[in-house]
Amino acid sequence: MLDQTKPVYQRLRDVISAGILDGQYRDGDMLPSVRSLAAEHGANPLTVAKAYQSFQDEGLIAVKRGVGMFVAPNAAARLRTRLHDEFLNQVWPPVAAQIRRLSIDPASLLDGITA
Protein backbone atom coordinates (compact mmCIF):
# COMPACT_ATOMS: atom_id res chain seq x y z
CA MET A 1 0.00 0.00 0.00
CA LEU A 2 1.34 3.40 -0.96
CA ASP A 3 1.87 6.13 1.61
CA GLN A 4 -0.57 8.81 0.48
CA THR A 5 1.23 11.44 2.56
CA LYS A 6 4.27 11.22 0.26
CA PRO A 7 4.52 13.44 -2.81
CA VAL A 8 3.35 11.81 -6.06
CA TYR A 9 6.92 11.77 -7.37
CA GLN A 10 8.08 9.72 -4.37
CA ARG A 11 5.09 7.37 -4.56
CA LEU A 12 5.95 6.67 -8.20
CA ARG A 13 9.57 5.98 -7.22
CA ASP A 14 8.26 3.55 -4.60
CA VAL A 15 6.11 1.77 -7.22
CA ILE A 16 9.03 1.43 -9.62
CA SER A 17 11.40 0.34 -6.82
CA ALA A 18 8.94 -2.28 -5.59
CA GLY A 19 8.53 -3.61 -9.13
CA ILE A 20 12.29 -4.00 -9.50
CA LEU A 21 12.84 -5.49 -6.03
CA ASP A 22 9.86 -7.86 -6.28
CA GLY A 23 10.99 -9.18 -9.67
CA GLN A 24 8.11 -7.72 -11.64
CA TYR A 25 10.79 -5.93 -13.68
CA ARG A 26 14.03 -7.88 -14.07
CA ASP A 27 17.38 -6.83 -15.52
CA GLY A 28 16.84 -5.88 -19.15
CA ASP A 29 13.04 -5.76 -18.90
CA MET A 30 11.21 -2.86 -20.49
CA LEU A 31 9.45 -0.57 -18.02
CA PRO A 32 5.98 0.87 -18.67
CA SER A 33 5.96 3.99 -20.81
CA VAL A 34 5.69 7.37 -19.15
CA ARG A 35 2.15 7.76 -20.47
CA SER A 36 0.96 4.33 -19.36
CA LEU A 37 2.43 4.66 -15.86
CA ALA A 38 0.92 8.15 -15.57
CA ALA A 39 -2.50 6.87 -16.62
CA GLU A 40 -2.29 3.87 -14.30
CA HIS A 41 -1.51 6.05 -11.27
CA GLY A 42 -3.45 9.19 -12.21
CA ALA A 43 -0.23 11.19 -12.34
CA ASN A 44 1.07 13.92 -14.59
CA PRO A 45 3.40 12.47 -17.27
CA LEU A 46 6.02 15.06 -16.33
CA THR A 47 6.04 13.71 -12.78
CA VAL A 48 6.51 10.16 -14.08
CA ALA A 49 9.31 11.38 -16.36
CA LYS A 50 10.99 13.00 -13.33
CA ALA A 51 10.79 9.73 -11.38
CA TYR A 52 12.25 7.79 -14.30
CA GLN A 53 14.97 10.41 -14.77
CA SER A 54 16.03 10.03 -11.14
CA PHE A 55 16.41 6.27 -11.65
CA GLN A 56 18.34 6.90 -14.84
CA ASP A 57 20.64 9.32 -12.94
CA GLU A 58 21.27 6.55 -10.39
CA GLY A 59 22.08 4.07 -13.18
CA LEU A 60 19.13 1.85 -12.32
CA ILE A 61 17.38 2.21 -15.66
CA ALA A 62 18.69 2.75 -19.15
CA VAL A 63 16.94 4.60 -21.95
CA LYS A 64 17.02 3.39 -25.52
CA ARG A 65 15.88 6.36 -27.58
CA GLY A 66 12.80 5.57 -29.61
CA VAL A 67 12.40 2.19 -27.91
CA GLY A 68 11.80 2.74 -24.19
CA MET A 69 13.25 2.43 -20.72
CA PHE A 70 14.81 -0.75 -19.43
CA VAL A 71 15.97 -2.05 -16.06
CA ALA A 72 19.77 -1.78 -15.93
CA PRO A 73 21.97 -4.76 -15.10
CA ASN A 74 22.18 -5.44 -11.33
CA ALA A 75 19.58 -2.75 -10.61
CA ALA A 76 17.78 -4.85 -8.00
CA ALA A 77 20.96 -5.60 -6.08
CA ARG A 78 22.10 -1.97 -6.14
CA LEU A 79 18.65 -0.71 -5.18
CA ARG A 80 18.37 -3.27 -2.37
CA THR A 81 21.76 -2.20 -0.99
CA ARG A 82 20.83 1.49 -1.04
CA LEU A 83 17.43 0.91 0.58
CA HIS A 84 19.00 -1.42 3.15
CA ASP A 85 21.45 1.30 4.15
CA GLU A 86 18.70 3.95 4.27
CA PHE A 87 16.58 1.67 6.47
CA LEU A 88 19.38 0.99 8.94
CA ASN A 89 20.49 4.63 9.11
CA GLN A 90 17.21 6.52 8.90
CA VAL A 91 14.21 4.30 9.63
CA TRP A 92 15.50 1.83 12.21
CA PRO A 93 16.97 4.18 14.87
CA PRO A 94 13.62 5.80 15.81
CA VAL A 95 11.87 2.41 15.64
CA ALA A 96 14.47 0.87 17.94
CA ALA A 97 14.10 3.81 20.32
CA GLN A 98 10.32 3.33 20.40
CA ILE A 99 10.74 -0.41 21.05
CA ARG A 100 12.94 0.39 24.04
CA ARG A 101 10.61 3.16 25.21
CA LEU A 102 7.60 0.82 25.18
CA SER A 103 9.53 -2.16 26.62
CA ILE A 104 8.54 -4.36 23.70
CA ASP A 105 10.22 -7.74 23.57
CA PRO A 106 12.07 -7.75 20.21
CA ALA A 107 11.46 -11.50 19.83
CA SER A 108 7.70 -10.90 19.87
CA LEU A 109 8.08 -8.66 16.82
CA LEU A 110 9.55 -11.51 14.83
CA ASP A 111 6.67 -13.91 15.54
CA GLY A 112 4.61 -12.64 12.60
CA ILE A 113 7.48 -12.29 10.14
CA THR A 114 8.38 -14.98 7.63
CA ALA A 115 11.35 -14.84 5.29
Which residue type does 94 have?
P
What are the sequence ranges of the domains in the chain?
Answer: 8-74, 76-110
Q: Which CATH code is given to the segment(s) 8-74?
A: 1.10.10.10
Question: 110: pLDDT confidence band, cut at 50, 70 and 90?
Answer: confident
pLDDT in tens, 10-66: 999 999 999 999 999 999 999 999 999 999 999 999 999 999 999 999 999 999 999
Within the chain, strands assigned E span 61-64, 68-71
> Cβ distance 61 to 28 under 8 Å?
no
The angle at the Cα of 10, spanning 77 to 58, to the nearest 5 degrees, equals 40
Question: 114: pLDDT confidence band, cut at 50, 70 and 90?
Answer: low
> Cβ distance 61 to 75 under 8 Å?
yes
pLDDT in tens, 70-95: 999 999 999 999 999 999 999 999 99
